[in-house]
Amino acid sequence: MGSGYECNSRNLNLALTMCRKLIIVLILLPAFCLAAFEVQSINTSSIALGSITSLYPGSLNPAFPARQKSLFMRADYARLYGLSGLDYYQVQMGWNPNTKNCIGLYLRNLGNPVYQEKTVGISYGQSLRDILSLGLSVHLYNIAIAGYQSSTAIGLTLGSVWNLNEQMQIAVLFQNINSPSIYECSDPLPECFSLGARYIPLSKIELCGELFKDTEFPFSLRVGAIIKLFDFMDLKFGTQLNPDRYSGGISMYWKKLSLDFAFQHHQILPYTLYYGIGYGLK
């Protein structure tokens, strides 16, 4: 009698678990159907500033590493919306043979054994003058879905950084300018344009903003602010429109080491927490 009750209870729990997973899949399926590789970066520091992609070292702009010195490394991790199976991590490395150029490598991975997106890339940045830096990155995209043949595509990204003065900086970013597609043109990858600006009105305050355009979606305005509480700590805040989200985070520095934490709001799903660690970026 007791054994039969325990068996029925286990079956009921199993059924409930399967129903919850099915509901999660149905919620996330539209997001995956829009475009593969829609989540392009989880740089914790950038997420905290409203998901700005064109500004700051470690972002998607290949022109920024040219302003760094020597070797730098960075790793970021997030479990999107707190859901098991949507683990996302990225690892970046860069090396400056001199103060004029830089070579970068990176790896990104999103998903689980059923659905997985991988991106491997190499970038090169060149500082032409004190006012201008240019960069190019080549991305190798791979998507694997259980029961289907995997597919690969190559994307090209161009970036530039204009240093107008000590207080003002402008960045321009063109992503996937060659219009790559996954699965024989059935799923075009995101083609995006970003125009960013960075302004430092005071030594302890930094403001930034970006106009972002994906060819499949409306314009998105993203703004952020950094408050430098101490030499070893920054507070970061950000917001974006289309989609409407807000975010925030904290960065801590010790010698050449940086530790970052950020959160990002979602209109329907739970918050996403981001964690990052870097060396040589400060």
Specify whether 93 is located in the same domain as 183: yes
35 versus 123: the higher-pLDDT residue is: 123
Please tell me the predicted confidence (pLDDT) of residue 258: 92
Residue 203 has pLDDT above 70, yes or no: yes
pTM summary value: 0.83
Q: What is the pLDDT of residues 14-49, one digit of tens each?
A: 444 444 544 444 444 444 443 467 776 789 999 999
Specify whether 210 is located in the same domain as 154: yes
Give 195's pLDDT tier (boundaries 50, 70, 90).
very high
Specify whether 19 is located in the same domain as 117: no
Amino acid at residue number 43: N
Specify whether 19 is located in the same domain as 155: no
239 versus 14: the higher-pLDDT residue is: 239
- Say how many C-beta atoms besides its own lie within 10 A of residue 183's C-beta: 15
Specify whether 3 is located in the same domain as 62: no
23 versus 281: the higher-pLDDT residue is: 281
Pairing of strands 71-79, 87-95: antiparallel
Contact call for residues 164 and 170 (beta carbons, < 8 A): yes
Residue 280 has pLDDT above 70, yes or no: yes
Contact call for residues 219 and 197 (beta carbons, < 8 A): no
Residue 240 has pLDDT above 90, yes or no: yes
Q: Which residue has the tokens 């520091």?
A: 45
Q: What is the pLDDT of residues 255-270, one digit of tens each?
A: 889 999 999 999 898 9
Contact call for residues 174 and 159 (beta carbons, < 8 A): yes
Q: What is the pLDDT of residues 136-186, one digit of tens each?
A: 999 999 999 888 889 999 999 999 999 999 899 999 999 999 999 887 666
Amino acid at residue number 93: M
- Say how many C-beta atoms besides its own lie within 10 A of residue 88's C-beta: 19
Contact call for residues 196 and 210 (beta carbons, < 8 A): yes
Specify whether 210 is located in the same domain as 77: yes
Please tell me the predicted confidence (pLDDT) of residue 204: 94
Q: Out of 164-168, 185-189, 229-233, pick the least confident.
A: 185-189
Average pLDDT, the chain: 85
Give the pair of three-digit tokens for residue 175.
């992503």
Contacts of 58 (CB under 8 A, 6+ apart): 43, 45, 46, 64, 74, 92, 278, 281
Q: Out of 30-34, 166-170, 197-201, 226-230, pick the least confident.
A: 30-34
Please tell me the predicted confidence (pLDDT) of residue 68: 56
Q: Out of 27-31, 78-82, 101-105, 250-254, pick the least confident.
A: 27-31
Specify whether 130 is located in the same domain as 191: yes
Beta bridge partners of 95: 71, 103
Please tell me the predicted confidence (pLDDT) of residue 188: 85
Mean pLDDT of 86-100: 87
Cα 163–258–133 angle (5° rounding)?
A: 20
Specify whether 230 is located in the same domain as 127: yes
Please tell me the predicted confidence (pLDDT) of residue 94: 87
Residue 120 has pLDDT above 80, yes or no: yes
214 versus 29: the higher-pLDDT residue is: 214
Give 58's pLDDT tier (boundaries 50, 70, 90).
confident
Q: How many domains does the chain have?
A: 2
Specify whether 21 is located in the same domain as 51: no
Mean pLDDT of 187-191: 87
Q: CATH no. for residue 86?
A: 2.40.160.60
Specify whether 79 is located in the same domain as 129: yes
Residue 281 has pLDDT above 50, yes or no: yes
Domain that holds residue 233: 40-279
Mean pLDDT of 219-224: 96
Name the strand (E) or helix (H) holding 74: strand 71-79
Cα end-to-end span (Å), the chain: 66
> What is the spatial distance between Cα 88 and Cα 257, in angstroms, rounded to a whole number?
22
Torsion of CA 96, 72, 161, 139, to 10 degrees: 90
Please tell me the predicted confidence (pLDDT) of residue 34: 39
Contact call for residues 124 and 130 (beta carbons, < 8 A): no
Specify whether 27 is located in the same domain as 140: no
Specify whether 112 is located in the same domain as 48: yes
